Structure 1
């Protein structure tokens, strides 16, 4: 059976380019963003309420998929490390994990979340509630 990755929503953010994106979720203050959901997945949002802690999975579509070593946080004075030992979006399959708070649900089918360091246009591929106590 053939399976494929499906985009369920799209990030709308004030961050417009990779070089201006924070390197970590808590860097440069909280960035509030909107997630425009594909209407086909509206039923999947049932039970979500403002204040919920969520884990968003994103597809970093602008990342370099050929990179296997990076300078941590982009600081050239730091020694190169393998991408799997860093949070760099450069990696063979650039999936981002973001821990956010759901601030509001707006019409038409938009989630307002923070903090989210993903750039405008980033595809959302999954949303999971964050377990309590973690």
Structure 2
């Protein structure tokens, strides 16, 4: 399987036989139970970003405005979203590698190799993206956002509000 970053230096992978898939293949000796979890996208990202190599690594590093386009069956979930709100958007990084366990942060070979759970690398056993965005506009099933570095077509898994102080919840 070819991936956009397959040739990038500093990616360490599990042996091919242990490549992670949902509900299958776990490392020998693992006490984790094989379980599968069904995630259904609630929408997709529509963005001018189409190439991981030229996309910003984080949303606040120059990401263009983008749209979150939701499926009609979740329309009631959108009813209280409004311009100015800060949201956490969870995506499924569908072009990421799932067999990577350690990377050189930000692809910088001069930095020490680090386990992916201590990085924001998209390449990880379960490639869930976490993006803090600001709502710019809401138009039916479409939500215009700032600071989203996800690529065009990326599945949206969920959206949650950024919580304020405890007394504001």
Q: What TM-score do the two structures reach when normalised by structure 1?
A: 0.92
Q: Tell me, yes or no, if the aligned pair for 2:100 and 2:124 is still in contact at 8 Å.
A: yes
Unaligned runs of 5+ in 1: none
The offset of 1:133, in angstroms, is 4.3
How many positions carry a matched residue from both structures?
131
Cα distance between partner residues in 2 of 1:3 and 1:20: 32
Bigger strand share: 1
Match of 1:16 among 43, 47, 50: 50
Name 1:39's counterpart in structure 2: 72
Q: Identify which of 88, 94, 97 aligns with 1:61.
A: 94
Q: 2:151: which partner in 1?
A: 119
- The 1-side partners of 2:121 and 2:63 are apart by 19
Dislocated runs of 4+, deviation >6 Å: none
Structure of higher CA gyration radius: 2
Deviation at 1:100, TM superposition (A): 0.5
2:4 is matched with none
Q: 1:91 aligns with which of 116, 119, 124?
A: 124
